[in-house]
Each structure stands twice: as C-alpha cells, then as structure tokens.
Amino acid sequence: MSPVSNVAREYLERVWEMAMKIFEAISEVLGLEKGYIEECLGEGVQILASNYYPPCPEPHKTLWLAAHSDHGALTFLTQNGVDGLQIKHHQTWYAVHHVPGSFLVNIGDYLEILSNGRYKSVEHRATVNVQRTRISIAVGHGPQLSSFIGPASPLVADKGSAQYGPIKYKDYIQIQQSSTVRGKTALLALKAQQNELI
Ligand SMILES: O=C(O)CCC(=O)C(=O)O
Ligand SMILES: [Fe+2]
C-alpha cells in the first residue's frame, strides 16, 4: 500500500471518530441514547468527494457547483483557504468564509430524516474564483447502503407523525444524485410521499 493511501486511510479514520463524537452529542440533544445514531449507522459508509475549481475569468458564465444538500448525516469539509462555499438560509445565499485549521460541518439529509425534521439539512453550492484555484474535500457519513432509513422510532410518537417515509439508503442516494434534482427536492419528495400516506 502506498504512503498516500495510508494517509488517506488515517484521515478518514480520524474524521470518522470526530463524526461519532458529534453524533453522540446530537443523539443526546434529541433525547436519544448516546450511541443511538452510531448504532443506526452500523458499519456505515464514508463517501469522499474531492472538488477542484480552476480559476475562471468569467464566473458568471459558469455553472459553479449547483445547489444541493448532502445525502449523509454529516459532511466534513476541508478546503485550501480559497473561499467559494455558499449556504442558503431563509431563501438568501450567504458566503461562508474559511477559518484556517478548521473543518466546516454540514448537516445532510439523513440527519434531517433520522431526527424527523428537527435538524435541517443545509442547502449549499460553490462558486469559482477569478484568480485562484479552489480545492475542497468533502467526507460524508451515512448508514450502510442496504439499510432502510427513516425517522428514529423514539421521535415518532405514533406512526402518523413520521415526516419521511422509509427508503433504502442506496435508493435515496440514487434519486438524490440524479441530474434532475436541484436543491433539496429529493428530500421534499420523500416528505410529500409520506404526507400522501398519512
Ligand atoms: O466545494 C465546496 O465547498 C462544497 C463541496 C460540496 O458541497 C460537496 O462536495 O458536496
Ligand atoms: Fe455538498
């Protein structure tokens, strides 16, 4: 195994440990057992996306990284010090400035689903820079691909209060990654489908 892949492996292991610590805190905030979310993840999956944004003299003519939410529970983002990330809050886009030596942690759709809507996944996009190359590495954390995802049962007083219907995580990713999905439309569709059943 090359030294590079050892570094990548260690990086992913450390990020996984950090994610589990945050999941413990989130479980407690939700009134669940400390290990609840970790148990739901099981062996879990980590999905790494590396994004390379070359400088662009005319950014307004490019697509950027289109608005989306991430499908996992939490995404850890690290970047090379060049700003470009924007998040949407109350229909307004805000630039997120990079804090050196820090990770940016985004809430993804799985955490919104698991918490039955108490945590909201964040819609975000990335712009390109006129002068500088931007690089970001995103690591998402989700449950095993074959598992069925849905709200945590202690958060659903009766069946009718589940806001998101059960779906296999792998199928959700497939829908969420399709080219027609924009912003949070995959999650909203899951919610709408559930409301039809109630
Ligand atoms: O480059 C960024 O800041 C965002 C990347 C991202 O959202 C993603 O890979 O899912
Ligand atoms: Fe993302």
Q: What is the mean pLDDT of each run of 10 residues along the chain (198 residues)?
A: 78 97 98 97 95 93 90 97 95 94 96 97 94 96 96 86 93 88 88 76
CB of 30 sitting under 6 A from ligand 1: no
CATH match for 3-197 among 2.60.15.10, 2.60.120.330, 3.30.2350.10, 2.60.34.30:
2.60.120.330
CB of 85 sitting under 6 A from ligand 1: yes
pLDDT value of residue 198: 56
Enter the tokens of residue 187: 């999650």
Please state, for a pLDDT cut of 70, what percent of the chain lies above it. Answer: 96
Locate the DSSP E strands across 5-147. Answer: 45-53, 65-68, 74-79, 85-89, 92-95, 104-107, 124-126, 134-142
Domain extents for the chain?
3-197
Ligand 1 atom, smallest distance to 96 CA: 3
Question: Has the ipTM of the complex gone over 0.85?
Answer: yes
CA 142: distance to chain centroid?
9
Ligand 1 atom, smallest distance to 51 CA: 1
Nearest ligand to residue 78 Cα: 1
Nearest CA to ligand 1 atom 1: 136
Whole-model pTM? 0.93
Ligand 1 atom, smallest distance to 106 CA: 7
